[in-house]
Amino acid sequence: ITTLRIVLDEFVLPEPMFKTISLNGGVYSSLTSVVGVLLSFRTSQAYNRFWEGAGLVYELFGDLSVSAGNLVAFCHYSEESREKVESFKQLLVRLVSLLSAMMLTELEGRDTLNHLPYEMLDLSSLEPSLVKSLPTKSHKAEVVFQWIKGVIVENIKTG
């Protein structure tokens, strides 16, 4: 606003209008104080929100890790063959790895599977048609989560 007033005074108006206005210095100091308080409050709020969000992301990935660990642990009591149990565990861990990458990608605002900076476990062992269809989906993390639920339910049914 001050820059606009100076430009108007110097270049647009035939007579300086704003230079002749005399304002009390107390007004400017009060305004500066209010702006300073508001600025520090907003900065503090943004800082707190950032760290709350970061904490929630760590909590989410901790819960995801615990859930995957519990599912793998429950497999020890399966009456299926060791090969089928091992295959289920491998698939589950790969899908959880993909899910965590999709969640981080969504948090970063990316919408691509190309050049992901995350390490994922052997996606080539997943069904190629599923992996190829994932880039076309708008909510990739939710899709992978549904895949995980489907795999769990199917394997509960088969033992």
For residues 97 and 66, what is the distance between their CA atoms, to the nearest angstrom? 13
What amino acid is encoded at 32 in this protein? T
Could you tell me if 152 and 74 are in contact, meaning their C-beta atoms sit under 8 angstroms apart?
no
pLDDT score for 136: 77
Kindly report the pTM of this predicted structure. 0.68
Indicate whether 24 pLDDT > 70.
Answer: no
Q: Please give the Cα distance from 83 to 95 (Å, whole number).
A: 18
Q: Tens digit of pLDDT for each residue in 55-103?
A: 999 999 999 999 999 998 988 888 788 888 888 898 899 999 888 888 8
Residue 114, token pair as written in the block: 């190309």
Quick one: tokens of 84? 């089928």
